[in-house]
Amino acid sequence: MEYIKRMVVCLICLAAIATVICINIRADDVVTNAKGAVLMEPESGKILHSKNMDAKLQMASTTKIMTAILTIESGNIDEPFTVDSEAIKVEGSSMGLLEGDTVTKRTLCYGMLLPSGNDAANAAAVAVAGSVDRFVEMMNRKAKELELNSTSFVTPSGLDDFTDGHYSTALDMAKLAAYALKNDVFREICSTKSISLDLGGRSIWLSNTNKLLGSCDGVFGVKTGFTDKAGRCLITACERDGISLICVTLGDSTDWIDHTNLYEYGFSVIERLSLGGDSYKVPAVGGCENVVELKSEEICLTIDKGSGEKVEKTVILPQFIYAPSEQGSVFGQVIYYLDGGVVAVSELRLAEDLNIKTE
């Protein structure tokens, strides 16, 4: 009996220690095997953790994030066409396209984002731009547009065994993923675990190579990758309690574990803060009412956990509001500050119409 009591006491102590460790986890405690890594809150661009995030590294099939979003943005994504017979003759991972298959651009996006089909990426490139080379030019133009200044594309698929010119950084790829996930079609496709697709007379079943879908709480994308040169590459996105994070690891042999641990850390150090929704009274001139109401817009802000009490605000109100003025018109601002810097601005809008007073 005494032995059992001692064991219970030990277990309680261990649990308490583990709790303390989890609560007090620091960025320095988060370790990854990646050559380059970043954990980012995409709405603000806040970096929660990084490791060589600006190092130029091969990114393998995570390249297909760019290929897929350009394909979606090209339009007519549900218009059927026959795949280019030469484009689908490519090595590596495949969605299983055959000569004569009828597809849509949407179908090809499933093929490149779920099983990481190189055939799908090449077929989409030809369908969008007329040739792989011209599509690669589009990829690099888009990279410049998105200010991915340390990124260079050579192939739509991410195959890199014949070139050293195909590279990016963990930070650039996080920015690319954040951009792509704003597109509802892209987000839906990359979050799909499996799907059956019709190829014009035959059907195929595709499964997502992203093992964290369904196994890590909140993960909803984005793309896996591997080549001998790049090693294991993984870009995921995760949402919990209204907060989204994007994690990128390049050249990481333990990527599944690292992403899980990074998310546990990330969500433990940030929180969602709701601001605005307040009302203010302002004198009215020449209107049916002597006083009108201004309401501040509701906004949400992702901040370091525990720093909400430090948020300060300055309210800028007009001395008077003159009739006539329409409901929704802006007549001021509420500026929110944290640690001396502006973190959010909420506009003050007229709650109701202010009509001219008539005798």
* Cα end-to-end distance, the chain, whole Å: 93
Q: What are the structure tokens assigned to 232, written together?
A: 């294991």
Q: How far apart (Å, rounded) are the C-alpha atoms in residues 158 and 62?
A: 7
Would you call 359 helix, strand, or coil by DSSP?
A: coil
Residues forming the active site: 61, 64, 116
DSSP β-ladder status, 81-82 and 231-240: unpaired
Burial 274-308 (b: 16+ CB within 10 A, else e): ebbeeebebebeebeeeebebbbbebebbbeeeee
129-132: long-range contacts, CB 8 A cutoff, minimum separation 24? 132/87, 132/156
Residue 220 Cα to chain centre, angstroms: 10
Q: Within 10 Å of residue 68's Cβ, how many Cβ atoms?
A: 29
Find out whether the peptide bond into 324 is cis, omega within 30 degrees of 0. yes
